[in-house]
Each structure stands twice: as C-alpha cells, then as structure tokens.
Amino acid sequence: MADADHDVVVIGSGAGGGAAAWALCEQGLRVLLLEAGPAYVPETDYRLHRSDWETARFPDKLPPADRQTLAPLQALEARHDALRSWNHVRGRVVPGDTRRSVGYSHVVGLGGSTLHFAGEAHRMHPEAMRMASRFGVAADWPVDYATLEPYYTRIERLIGVAGSADDTSRPRSAPYPLPPHPRSYASQRLAAGAEALGLGFVPNPLAALSKPYDGRPGCNYCAGCLRGCPRRDKGSVDVTFVRRARESGRCEIRTECQVTRLVAGDDDRIRAIVTRSTDGLEREERVRSVVLAAGAVETPRLLLLSTAPGSPDGIANDSGQVGRHFMETLSWYTSGLHPEPLGSHRGLPSDSICWDFNAPDAIDGVVGGCRFSPGTAEADLLGPVSHATRVVRGFGRAHQEGVRDALGRVLTVASIGESLPGPKSFVDLDPVARDAAGNAKARIHSHLDDAELRRLTFMARTCREILAAAGVEEVFEEAGTYDLFFSTHVFGTCRMGTDPETSVVDAFGRSHRFRNLFVADASVFPSSGGGESPSLTIEALALRTAEHLAARARRRELDAPA
Ligand SMILES: Cc1cc2nc3c(=O)[nH]c(=O)nc-3n(C[C@H](O)[C@H](O)[C@H](O)COP(=O)(O)OP(=O)(O)OC[C@H]3O[C@@H](n4cnc5c(N)ncnc54)[C@H](O)[C@@H]3O)c2cc1C
Ligand code: SF4
C-alpha cells in the first residue's frame, strides 16, 4: 500500500514530477514516483550511433499517435496565406483549408518530455509574469521572478547549465555553473546577419555540459539532442533529478504504471489513487499526499476522469477551471541554403538566441513577446534523408550530387512566441475515443486568434529577414503553427492563482479544494512567456511546491483529521 511506505505519491516523472520527487526526498520524505512510460537506457535505446539514426526519431517505446485527440481545428483564410507551411519539393504542407494537427509532441517515459528536449534552460521574463495587470490578458502569476530566482540558481547548478558570464537578460544572483558552449560556425553566420539588422544573438543558456560535470562527460556537439542524448551530458530529468532521487534511498520508482484515477475521501483530502500496470491489472492504493505532474494535457484529463459524488465534474474542478486556459507553442521557422559550406548539420542545437523581442511589449502593435534562435536541428534538417526529400529537388545523379553539396549549408531561423489563453483553447474529455483502459482520452481544443496571428506574422517576417541578412538567397521551406498544430510546449490547464473561482491551485501548487493534492507541471502556468523554454521554470515551481508540501507534512497539516 502506498501510504504505509510513502509520504507522497508523485504522478509523472517529467520536468515537474522528477524535480518534485528529488526535492521531496531532499526534505526527508519517502516518495513513490509513478510513471506511465518505460525507462530508457541512453547508451542502448538511443540511436545516434546507428545507420538508421535519421529515420529513427526519438525511439518512443509507446507509440505517440492517438494518445490524445484534437477537436476540429480552425479554417484557414486567404489573407494569411503568407503563414502557410510549404516546401519547394512538396508544395503546401497542408493542402486543404483547415488547420491540421501533427500532434502534441511529448515523451511517455521516465524523464518525460525532457528526454527529447533541446536543453534550453530559460528563466521567465519578469514582466511576462504580469500579463493581466500590465496588459489585461491571461492572468498574473501569484509568484514573482524574485521569488523564483533562488530556485533557478539552484537548479542550474544541479542539472549543469552552460551560459555566458555576460548574460544580462534576467536578474541573476550567481553566474552559470558552466562556461558557454563555443558557437557553431552556422550560428555565428546567423548572428552576423542579425547584427546587420541591429539585432543581437547571444549564447543560449543550455542544460548541456560544456565540460565534464556531475560525473557526466561534456557534449560532443553531435546535434542529436532531440533524438535522446546517449552521453547523458544533456540535463534531462532522468539523468539529473530522478537519478539523484533514486540515490537518496528515499524514492521508489515504478515505471509502466499509469494512474487512472484519483479517489477523493469524505473530507478535503485525496484518499487513494487507482493504478494500472501493463498487464491491465488495476488496483487502488491509499495515499497520504499526491503531487500530480502528468503534463498540461494528461493532468487535467486525470482530474476530469476522477469524478465522485462530491466532485461530479472531476477532482478540484468545483469552479470549472480544470482544462481551461490551454496554451500551445506559437512557432515558426524559415530554412534556406547558404552559398557557403557552414557545417550546419553539427553543433549544439539552438546554441544562441535573440531576446530582443522577448518582453511582452517588444513587438509593435501586439501584446506578447517572442525569441529567435538557430533551428536547423529543430527543423530536423541534419541528415541525407531530409536533404534528399526536402532540400534538393530532382532525381538521379544530379540529385545525389545536390544532396552532397547541400549537406551543411542549410540555415534555419526558428522563433517561438507568446501563446495567450482564450475561451476556444482548452482540454476536455473526448466523448468517443477511449484508451486501452476504456477511459476517455484527453481532447485538445486549439484556436489562434487575430493577436496570435499578428505575432506569428511578425515572427515569420523577422525569420526571413535574419536569414536573408545572413546571406541566404534561396529559401526552400517554412513551417508554422498557423496551419499546423505541433505543440512542444503546452501550458495552463490547471492555472495557479489566489482566487479559487479563476484558478485550480494556489501559489504553491496546492489545490484550493483538496489539502493534500498538489500540481507541479506546466499546467499551472498562468501565461506562457514570450518564447522562453519552460522546463527550468517548471522545475523551479516544483521545488517550491515540494518545500511547501514538506513543511505542511511536518506540521501534520496534510493528514486526515484525528
Ligand atoms: C522536441 C521538444 C523540444 C523541447 N525543447 C525544450 C527545451 O530545449 N527546453 C525546455 O525547457 N523545454 C523544452 N521542451 C518542452 C519540455 O520538454 C516540456 O515543457 C516539459 O518537459 C514539460 O514538463 P511537464 O512536467 O509538464 O510534463 P512532461 O515532461 O511531459 O512529463 C509528464 C510525465 O507524466 C507521465 N504521465 C502522464 N500521464 C500519466 C499517468 N496517468 N500516470 C503516470 N504517469 C503519467 C508522462 O509519461 C510523462 O513522463 C521541448 C519539448 C519538445 C517536444
Ligand atoms: S549535442 Fe551534446 S547534448 Fe546533444 S545529444 Fe549530442 S552530446 Fe548530447
């Protein structure tokens, strides 16, 4: 039984769950970490060393298709044709007049989506945490940057973040623990182009080791981070937080164990959880406290599935807020061929970044910021297969020579921008689709309004300008979220706030309704930020949640009344 041996059950082992599990162990609590997916062994499961490395993307052991469904997406309009995704070999990526989904990109496995992340380790822009009071959109965070700062600093040391001593993009109390990575030649060319436009590319803080650290080797600049790092130098959660939680001797880890339901007690506590193992066996286990960290799509699903007489619309959903305020990844990239060989198929992805438009008021005429970075790896333009199918037209010997000639000349500028919540973007339960356990799948509703499209238009235009200024004369591919839903960062479905009518959890991630239920993943974000990658902030919030939980547990405030 979970409650006899464990003080806390953590559901999900990604950025939020892995960090929370470690921090709870540090506080002396005994933790049971439950993960729906399997554990991966970087040296053998990842495929960068094999001849099929390019066609084998991240080696999902559980197929990603159909884990969630998407409600019908919006119609595309001729006035936004400049935002359509296209490729010079294939033409329009979405031939019809309706936005298409290629799925919510995530990993089900020990370490969660950090297993295939690029390692960007960003702090939130302080002003992006006050979107309601400053601009009348989204909601204010109930914590401010100054409160998160010590947690950021601690995590940077723990996972090993490499960054520049000259980084002034955020207030900092300590330098990065590791020096910045050398920038690839391709990245330097982009930076030179940007500079000609008056924009600055600076070293991007990355959870990838610029020298040996924490018993892990330095990066070898193979560019393959999104396929899983076989050297363990990338600071994904499995090789950092989860490893340390295990080493503490206070964390039991169960993989391939899905939680299918939370069970509310008669009081204001979660009494039990229902788990399902791969053989289909379900069992109810009593719990003392729960940290829910299944990600911004599966966390609301689990709460909505957990109906009970006292919670007819799902756990912690008394004010109907669970699943609302979904935010996705607003993104764009433009790729072209540079006349010179740049070696752009190698090097650390996104090794530099332009923050010039990151502040929420930095883009003229629209609220919400964005950032720009080199994106050749994210666009998956690293190997001969992508070059043969997307970069070089034609066939036969000329095509073969063209591929050889193009390899290393591809230059991509990528941009991610603020995604603001709106009434048409939310997560609910699919009325028809069921998973293997017979439970309703999560259904994502996504809608981009005019403000998002204005921001996206700015992002696309600037990507094109930077690329041209860097010397690219021939653009061969562009893709963006106007006609494609391909979210890599998702947020906001269990918003944190001070008012139970408009939020699900408080400033410490604790449910307004259930005193022993905490949420510690990207679902608590009240706003998305202007292109910051979210893991560092998810981890900072999770550490804070864990400390708060432990303090309350010590005071026995989470127990059932005597
Ligand atoms: C291609 C790509 C690149 C990215 N690059 C970056 C980057 O460079 N920097 C950055 O900061 N972010 C990056 N991200 C985003 C980042 O990985 C995620 O935002 C982050 O991992 C989300 O953390 P989370 O804890 O909310 O969810 P996840 O990390 O997705 O973790 C959720 C976990 O819960 C498990 N789970 C779900 N349901 C259940 C259940 N019912 N029972 C038990 N377990 C369950 C899942 O299997 C998963 O392991 C990237 C994402 C992608 C897809
Ligand atoms: S580039 Fe570095 S961090 Fe990324 S997979 Fe290769 S060795 Fe790992």
The 3 state secondary structure assigned to 337-393 is: ECCCCCCCCCCCCCCEEECCCCCCCCCCCCCCCEEEEECCCCCCCCCHHHHHHHHCC
Angstrom distances, CA of residue 130 to CA of 138, 168, 359, 366, 539: 9, 20, 11, 16, 20
Measured from the alpha carbon of residue 181, the closest ligand is 2
Measured torsion, CA atoms of residues 468, 471, 473, 475, in degrees rounded to the nearest 10: -60
pTM of this structure: 0.97
Whether residue 30 is contained in a domain is answered as yes
Cα–Cα distance, 138 to 260 (Å, whole number):
30
Lining ligand 2 with CB less than 6 A are 208, 219-225, 229, 231, 233-234, 348
Indicate if the alpha-carbon torsion angle 343, 345, 346, 351 is positive or negative.
Answer: positive
- Name the residue with the closest Cα to ligand 2, atom 8: 229
Residue 39 and residue 59: Cα distance in Å, rounded?
Answer: 12
Residue nearest to atom 46 of ligand 1 (CA): 108
Residue 9's DSSP bridge partners are 32, 290
Residue 252 lies in a domain: yes
What SS3 state is found at 51?
coil
- Residue 75 sits in a domain whose CATH number is 3.50.50.60
**Helix boundaries (H) for 46-139:** 131-135
377 CA from centroid of ligand 2 (Å)? 11
In a domain, 53, yes or no: no
pLDDT at 2 (0 to 100): 58
Given a contact cutoff of 8 angstroms between Cβ atoms, the answer to whether 417 and 369 are in contact is yes
Return all residues near 349 (Cβ < 8 A) that are at least 6 apart.
118, 119, 223, 225, 226, 374, 375, 376, 377, 378
Which tokens go with 143?
A: 């914590």
Within 6 Å (CB) of ligand 1, which residues are found? 11-17, 34-37, 105-106, 108-109, 112-114, 116-120, 226, 258-259, 293-296, 298, 302, 488-489, 521-522, 533-536, 538
**Residue 206 CA, ligand 1 centroid: distance in Å:** 17
Backbone angles phi, psi at 391, to 5 degrees: -95, -45
Q: What angle do CA 271, 276, 282 make, to 5 degrees?
A: 70
Is 61 inside any structural domain? no
β-strand pairing of 474-480 with 330-337? antiparallel
Q: Which ligand is nearest to the CA of 209?
A: 2
pLDDT at residue 60, rounded to an integer? 81
**Ligand 1 centroid – CA 107 distance (Å):** 6
Predicted pLDDT at 14: 98
Ligand number with the minimum distance to the CA of 274: 1
- Domain assignment of residue 57, yes or no: no
CA distance 119 to 239: 13
Which of 414, 403, 335, 402 lies closest to 370 in space, CA to CA? Answer: 414
Contacts 24+ apart (CB under 8 A), 274-280: 275/34, 276/437, 280/436, 280/437
Residues 520 and 19: beta-carbon distance below 8 Å: yes
**Atom 35 (ligand 1): residue with closest C-alpha?**
12
Range of the domain at 186: 2-43+70-208+220-554
List, for residues 470-515, the tens digit of each pLDDT value: 999 999 999 999 999 988 999 999 999 999 999 999 999 999 999 9
Q: Establish if 227 belongs to a structural domain.
A: yes
Q: How many domains does the chain have?
A: 1
Residues (pLDDT < 50) of the chain are none
Q: Which of 10, 67, 110, 117 to mutate to test the pocket of ligand 1 (most atoms within 8 A of CB)?
A: 117
Asked if residue 335 is part of any domain, the answer here is: yes
Structural domain contains residue 55:
no
